[in-house]
Chains A and B, each alone.
Chain A
């Protein structure tokens, strides 16, 4: 039993240190927003309306209200965590972005504690926010890989189709980007499997095609693979340009541009 003590202590310290991030160190929004008072009923009704197409002020007002709510239905849902993710993705200041994502993690953890464990969205937005929070910090990112995998696996099991296959897409990318065996959970076969499922089941989402193209590109390929990469990239780019992706469009375009640059450079190196 004594052998378990250090482990327990370390776990507790890790837990407490992560909790410390979730104190009321919220990103403060512009006071001139003049957010209307929002009742619980209003917020409940807004759940399915607010998303990537909503402007940031509207999301900020809803989040401000959600910070104060004691309504269990709202707190048990992924709503606040999802709003945090949308706002974080748009935020260009790294510190604010990470604090918003951190808040999103906290909301999702609360939802789980209140019984939201069977809600795949809660697990999904917890992982998405956590990934965004740690992505610029290599040691934090690697320390959280197992947790990210666990949350995303639950999201895939419970709700694989939310956010146009978001759990499949993000879990696939996690397997693609994580350190590979024997050092980590990274696994190209799994990445390709999940991303192919995302593309096949949700072919209208541009990131599904971009990420699948990236996985194919990272894999051991031949000329046919390169052609497939180009084809998936082209489909994704077309969907991005022609679709109404709201405030996500600009963020995603940067991802397409970065991969295009990498892909182009590598191709010219090969020639």
Chain B
């Protein structure tokens, strides 16, 4: 669940996208927000994003309602919207970006920074002493929210070294439920993103959980732009607006609320290895 993890970040970023609206767009620009497998329904998500868009519009002195959002937790719906509406900016998971980048000329524009990091690691958790490595999990029940994007897990998180087909996959849209199942022995393992891993300390489990796999650093995903329908100036302006967000009085409250320290312009070099893994992956 870059999924659960990134929803808050997505929402903040989607609010910030209002900066692209420049002055008073008569027709709101649609921001596509794709949150595959997320535990948030579209109505609630759009309501939350609308609140944030209004705040950003007010803070940035743009006309109210310059932007609107379209939220989906379904990857197929995201792809359809991308193909039909050709949004200039979108907020996607890293997996969707990698899948759609060529077809829709997507460029990463900005990333969130959380706890000083613009990247994260994924971990496969098991009950202590039950398994020692991923090979022992072959044929066993593996749960987690991130399993909604299986190609991403295989190619990027496992870097092509482990085939997900070897596990009995139990995707879930709720990390806490997957962890309860792991605690009760209904699942053998659960795969977590960084934010979920860091949240484990707040849960009371009857059995200690330990990681048997930790991924390499994987960049946090933020906003992507269509490089053919936006100019370099658009993207620069956008990035700068986002970078200023958490320094703004009102914007800081939103950033604090969701644990985002800042937004930072993307270092394209961070994504190059991901693109390579994706392209060469299996």
Contact = CB atoms under 8 A, between A and B. Distances in A.
Q: What is the predominant secondary structure among interface residues of chain A facing chain B?
A: helix
Given A138-B52, A218-B41, A262-B41, A182 B174 contact: no
Interface stretch (A68-76, A97-105, A120-128, A173-181): A173-181
B199 interface: yes
A262 B196 CA distance: 29
From A138, A143, A187, A258, name the one whose CB has the most chain B CB atoms within 10 angstroms.
A138
Given A138-B48, A269-B77, A188 B254 contact: no
A268 interface: no
A49 interface: no
A28 interface: no
Contacts, number: 59
Contact of A183 (B4, B44, B172): B4
A252 B131 CA distance: 51
A188 B48 contact: no
B176 A139 contact: no
A183 B41 contact: no
Chain A: number of interface residues, binned into ranges = 20 to 34
Contact of A180 (B43, B48, B77, B174): B174
B51 A188 contact: no
Contacts of A57: none
Interface residues of B, number: 32
A149 B175 CA distance: 21
B257 A181 contact: no
Given A138-B52, A179-B8, A187 B173 contact: no
A188 B41 contact: no
Contact of B8 (A143, A183, A266): A183
A189 B177 contact: yes
B259 to A, nearest CB: 8
Interface of A: 136-139, 142-143, 177, 179-183, 186-189, 218, 220, 258, 262, 266, 269
8 contacts: A142-B257, A180-B174, A180-B176, A182-B195, A182-B198, A183-B4, A187-B176, A266-B42
